[in-house]
A and B are shown apart, each in its own frame.
Chain A
């Protein structure tokens, strides 16, 4: 029996009737049309589906949409403004932190949370923080570079804003 789920996704209210078993990732991709969040496995290991739910990184393939009812969800599409990329996105671009781009949205969202918790992480901290995100193309070195690159700008933005965006 369908259930009405209401989420704010990237600051936009959404509501859809869904079967209880519909995964959050499919709610976002198919019902909201936000296909930036990707599916790479069904055992919640690869992390391509990572989004933020109420500010916390979640693997949206392992959460039902109904569980997120009432939450604020941020996907990769919600990071940039019209004017600029999010510093983490900019870092991935500057440091060649992506090749095929498929793991990238999840990797970026996990990195956003990492930097929200560690303003100036070491490479080991970044690598550990990204244990839940698999990449087969890059070998991760440039991903670590990208997060280190972004850290100062993220810290500055967080300090400078009255209300942090994420």
Chain B
């Protein structure tokens, strides 16, 4: 069904943060470091301060004490972390590091004044290569820290890994780089803060995925207690993890509003977004697979270095550890040893970007499966299915320490093959090759972990809160602690509630994104909105129905167990011919003239839902490509995706999530990379240099799904927000490498740009 969100959005009358107008609003603009590492010797803001419209210019010494440190919520044992102040102190550590802020009466004057601030920098040695940074004797990203290593961790799981390696017929080694990416939501970050001096209450509107987590974490920065803090996420123009964070600018703008006793707005430019909003991925490593000649995989050893940038943002060090959780993918691989080292470099911090650690794992294992298959001359599909667990083997415990809830990997691969017309596809590829073309087919069978998650495994609680209220009128208010920003829960939650209560969907209004309305929540990321947030809502609906039955029983003058509720109507068959609809019951509940003893008035319920496990969506993607020899350009000639996200509440929305996720994978596979040069200069600071896919870059998809309900929640929902981005990148990469394999190319790192592919083709051509 169509979304209830859309009428306002297609009319352009939704309110995003920059659309807010407040009386007396001031505008902030930030001066950012042009150096990757430098001492800040002197800041002279006198010219800036004198410019028309300028209310004030502030630097680290003015604001850092009042704003506190930008928090990292990831609990990593023995993490060595630099203190992350809101503005730079006496040093800057990455290009884009915020150094000073101007506040002015209009945004143009603020930007003018930023350019008038004079800063004397003393450039210092720059650290940009993570493998070099990990070595002792390297120049230091943070000299005061004494090391570039944020943390090191070794995880061994399953069986005896050394025995596995001794028993192997061969050890196949591989090296790959999972490139750094920039999330690039089309709406850059924006913050508006307003402080009521009398009430000592702060309201912060911010383009965020996490208003509730901000409400938990900002008090530690600003010294404002939670009851005096209201965080609102207005319409948010895309997040993808980039807005799952506590940013220095949020505390800074709040502080300025308090300090200046006026509301303050800050919006970032696209370049600022590229420089100072979190980046994704960036893992490089060496991998060893112990195999038998028949293709049996006995174990995997993984040594990865994660380049996490200069500072820890909210979940920075945790993200690379998620890779180890699903490293064995869909496969029964009995033993793993995962060595992870996270290093600081003079770059923007990495953090969770759509998939957060799982795309890295899936890309790795799916490339390894192809590499191993090619080395052993075994069919790439056969080596996969050889290691699939059967559906009856679920719940399935992996060597990485997880228990997958439900799955049918054979089923999704079979369906993907069928939709792809597999035999004909292979025949077409082979025919194209005989005709001299570079044609390839790639497959990815993936599983991912989402619906974050059991609180034991989450930094600040993984539950979700919800409230459902039957109003006197019979309309229903749903309040959720998740914060959709395009995912459509205003619609899907209305569907869930309308369906269960027997109320027309138009009569169910979903509220979200405002901590004054839902005081607690754990927001939207990790594909948790429906699986976790939706279940909290279901719990509320069940409570309301239970209470309503008691009230109805009283009105029917009968026992609770004689009351039947069906399709929005209460009846007591055999006892009364009367039926009671919600409107009448709600009126009784609130006007309260005739309530049974012990029953509180009202008809609302709230619930905290604690999930007992994550969920594990899975799927199979098939991709066929043809490469133009002269340009290296990759054309996707067929793309089939079969994804299983469990029960689908709204199939149109599911399709949208899969399509959007695959598009980001196409970007990663073929176009995108965040590039810093040897001086730490960001070379990909605008859409001109960081090409996200356009409509012309997207093939026609064939989308299918299987439905394997999750046993973890009553909706049977697994989650689908990230699956496309996790499953698709390896399918495309494997297709391109399959196309190049006849030339003897074994591996190429991403992105498979025309230049990179062309060079690989021409490196193998003898003239």
**Closest beta carbon of chain A to B661's beta carbon, Å:** 7
Given A99-B486, A101-B235, A103-B186, A140 contacting B695 (CB threshold 8 A):
yes
Please encode chain A, from 21 to 34, with 1 for each CB lying within 8 Å of some chain B CB and 0 for all others. Answer: 11000000100011
| Distance A138 CA – B19 CA, assembled complex (angstroms) | 23
**Closest beta carbon of chain A to B110's beta carbon, Å:** 13
A100 x B686 contact (CB < 8 A): no
A141 x B5 contact (CB < 8 A): no
| Distance A112 CA – B23 CA, assembled complex (angstroms) | 35
B502 touches A (CB below 8 Å): no
B663 x A140 contact (CB < 8 A): yes
| Distance A36 CA – B687 CA, assembled complex (angstroms) | 22
Chain B 3-38 residues near chain A, CB threshold 8 A = 3, 5-7, 9-16, 18-19, 21
Chain A 73-104 residues near chain B, CB threshold 8 A = 75-77, 79-80, 85, 89, 92-94, 96, 98-104
**Closest beta carbon of chain B to A103's beta carbon, Å:** 5
Please encode chain A, from 105 to 148, with 1 for each CB lying within 8 Å of some chain B CB and 0 for all others. Answer: 10010000000000000010011101101111111111110000
Which residues of chain B have C-beta atoms less than 8 A from A42's C-beta? 269-271, 686
Count contacts on A: residues with CB < 8 A to the other chain: 56
| Distance A145 CA – B732 CA, assembled complex (angstroms) | 24
B188 touches A (CB below 8 Å): yes
Closest to A124 in B: B696
Please encode chain B, from 138 to 182, with 1 for each CB lying within 8 Å of some chain A CB and 0 for all others. Answer: 000000000000000000000000000000000000000000000
Stretch from B62-70, B505-513, B630-638, B651-659 at the A interface: B651-659
Which residues of chain B have C-beta atoms less than 8 A from A94's C-beta? 2
B236 touches A (CB below 8 Å): yes
**Closest beta carbon of chain A to B691's beta carbon, Å:** 9
A9 touches B (CB below 8 Å): no
Which residues of chain A have C-beta atoms less than 8 A from B16's C-beta? 35, 38, 102
A45 x B687 contact (CB < 8 A): yes
Chain A 32-59 residues near chain B, CB threshold 8 A = 33-43, 45-46, 48
B7 x A36 contact (CB < 8 A): no
| Distance A96 CA – B184 CA, assembled complex (angstroms) | 21
Given A21-B108, A41-B687, A93-B3, A77 contacting B186 (CB threshold 8 A):
no
B698 x A127 contact (CB < 8 A): yes
Report which of B11, B240, B660 forms a contact with A139, defined as CB distance below 8 A: B660
B187 touches A (CB below 8 Å): yes
Most buried by B among A43, A101, A128, A141: A101
| Distance A105 CA – B186 CA, assembled complex (angstroms) | 12
| Distance A75 CA – B10 CA, assembled complex (angstroms) | 12
**Closest beta carbon of chain B to A81's beta carbon, Å:** 11
| Count: A-B pairs, CB below 8 Å | 183
Given A43-B686, A96-B655, A139-B663, A35 contacting B12 (CB threshold 8 A):
yes
Which residues of chain A have C-beta atoms less than 8 A from B695's C-beta? 126-128, 130-131, 133, 135, 140, 143-144
Which residues of chain B have C-beta atoms less than 8 A from A143's C-beta? 695
| Distance A150 CA – B185 CA, assembled complex (angstroms) | 26
Chain A 6-32 residues near chain B, CB threshold 8 A = 19, 21-22, 29
Report which of B6, B108, B700 forms a contact with A92, defined as CB distance below 8 A: B6
B696 x A100 contact (CB < 8 A): no
Please encode chain B, from 677 to 700, with 1 for each CB lying within 8 Å of some chain A CB and 0 for all others. Answer: 000000000111000111110101
A100 x B18 contact (CB < 8 A): no
B698 x A139 contact (CB < 8 A): yes
Closest to B687 in A: A45
| Distance A93 CA – B18 CA, assembled complex (angstroms) | 24
B12 x A98 contact (CB < 8 A): no
Which residues of chain A have C-beta atoms less than 8 A from B6's C-beta? 92-93, 98, 101
Please encode chain A, from 58 to 69, with 1 for each CB lying within 8 Å of some chain B CB and 0 for all others. Answer: 000000000000
Which residues of chain B have C-beta atoms less than 8 A from A22's C-beta? 108
Which residues of chain A have C-beta atoms less than 8 A from B394's C-beta? none
B611 touches A (CB below 8 Å): no
Which residues of chain A have C-beta atoms less than 8 A from B349's C-beta? none
Which residues of chain B have C-beta atoms less than 8 A from A144's C-beta? 695
Given A102-B237, A131-B696, A137 contacting B660 (CB threshold 8 A):
yes
| Distance A87 CA – B79 CA, assembled complex (angstroms) | 56
A136 x B2 contact (CB < 8 A): no
B487 touches A (CB below 8 Å): yes
| Distance A104 CA – B237 CA, assembled complex (angstroms) | 10
Which residues of chain A have C-beta atoms less than 8 A from B422's C-beta? none
Which residues of chain B have C-beta atoms less than 8 A from A127's C-beta? 694-696, 698
A45 x B698 contact (CB < 8 A): no
| Distance A141 CA – B662 CA, assembled complex (angstroms) | 11
B12 x A37 contact (CB < 8 A): yes
Closest to B21 in A: A33
| Distance A76 CA – B485 CA, assembled complex (angstroms) | 21
Most buried by A among B18, B661, B687, B693: B687
- Given contact pairs A35-B18, A142-B659, a sample of 5 additional A-B residue pairs in the complex whose CB atoms are under 8 Å apart: A36-B12, A40-B237, A43-B270, A96-B653, A143-B695
**10 closest pairs, A vs B, by CB?**
A36-B12, A102-B237, A101-B9, A139-B663, A99-B486, A100-B486, A76-B12, A139-B659, A35-B19, A41-B270
Query: Could you list 6 A-B pairs, sorted by A, with CB under 8 Å?
Result: A38-B187, A39-B267, A77-B13, A92-B10, A134-B694, A136-B183
